[in-house]
Amino acid sequence: MMIRDLVTEVRLGLHPWERHPERPQRIVINVEMYAAPQPRRGKAVSSVVDYDYVREAIRKWPRRRHTVFIETLLEELVTLCFKDKRVQACRVSLFKPDIYNEAAGAGVEVFRVRP
């Protein structure tokens, strides 16, 4: 299950120029959740790992307070991925495409296996 290249805005950053309350930053989010195949029971949504709850959480980010470290958002998404007990591993990446003029962007990524 995956969400690819979801773009949203969030108040994020360590530097003073990133802390302007009227100018949130664009971020690009990718989430992959890995689970063992499950037998499908008709059209029941409960028989598959649903990524809507991850998308809904991200959609609230433009309204959240300023977050200093991008790693904070990364860890929140990892925790959210493991909310579904069937998810055995996840890969989450956050990318700031507008942070540097000389680069396509900067960000963080983690691959985590359920302990």
Domain total for the chain? 1
Average pLDDT across the chain, whole number? 91
Q: Is-contact 27 2, C-beta < 8 A?
A: no
Give the pLDDT band (50/70/90) at residue 4.
Answer: very high
Predicted pLDDT of residue 44: 63
Tens-place pLDDT, residues 45-94: 666 788 899 999 999 999 999 999 999 999 999 999 999 999 999 999 99
DSSP 65-81: PPBS-HHHHHHHHHHHH
Predicted pLDDT of residue 45: 64
Q: Is-contact 114 87, C-beta < 8 A?
A: yes
Phi, psi of 18 (to 5 degrees): -95, -5
Predicted pLDDT of residue 47: 65
CA trace torsion 94, 98, 100, 103 (10° rounding): 70
Q: Helix 52-59 vs helix 70-81: angle between axes, to the nearest 10 degrees?
A: 150
β-strand 2-10 against 25-35: which pairing, if any?
antiparallel
CATH of the domain at 19: 3.30.1130.10
Which residue range(s) make up the domain with 67? 2-113
Q: What angle do CA 88, 89, 94 make, to 5 degrees?
A: 150
Tens-place pLDDT, residues 18-53: 787 778 999 999 999 999 877 666 666 666 788 899
The pTM for the full model equals: 0.88
